[in-house]
Amino acid sequence: MSHANAHYADSQVAADAVATLLWRLETQLDEAFATGGELLAALPRARTAAKLPAIAGQQAFETLSQAILAIGTARGHTVAGHRVIEKVGRQIGYETSFGDEQPKPDFVPTGVGASHLRVAA
């Protein structure tokens, strides 16, 4: 194997590792967000079952809500980083798939920052 081919092979292995870790992080953030949502839903049910007044647990609810919002923000930053990595990968010619290249049918991005994702006709 020539030096150039060995360098490319090493770079490809590194790019594949980045892609795997990126998908793992996105999956873990999704799981944490979903678990957090389940926890927030369980808190008022537990309060009611314990026959406690509405004020009971409010501070925990508010604090945990902030934690879940932070997970959502982290997920948004991760998705933005994903797009940057994909762009760099294309520019330098890596074959690694950093994500699903085809949008899902009827998928319309929403939320903050979605406007820059529109496709120009």
Mean pLDDT over residues 58-73, rounded? 96
Domain positions in the chain are 3-94
Per the structure block, which two tokens stand in for 33?
Answer: 């967000």
At 77-97, the pLDDT tens digits run 999 999 999 888 888 777 666
Would the CA dihedral through 43, 48, 51, 57 be positive or negative?
positive
Determine contact, residues 99/25, Cβ cutoff 8 Å.
Answer: no
Determine contact, residues 96/89, Cβ cutoff 8 Å.
Answer: yes
Residue 70 has, within 13 A of its CA and on its CB side, a CA count of 6
What is the distance between the alpha carbons of residues 11 and 101, in angstroms, rounded to a whole number? Answer: 21
At 109-120, the pLDDT tens digits run 555 544 444 434
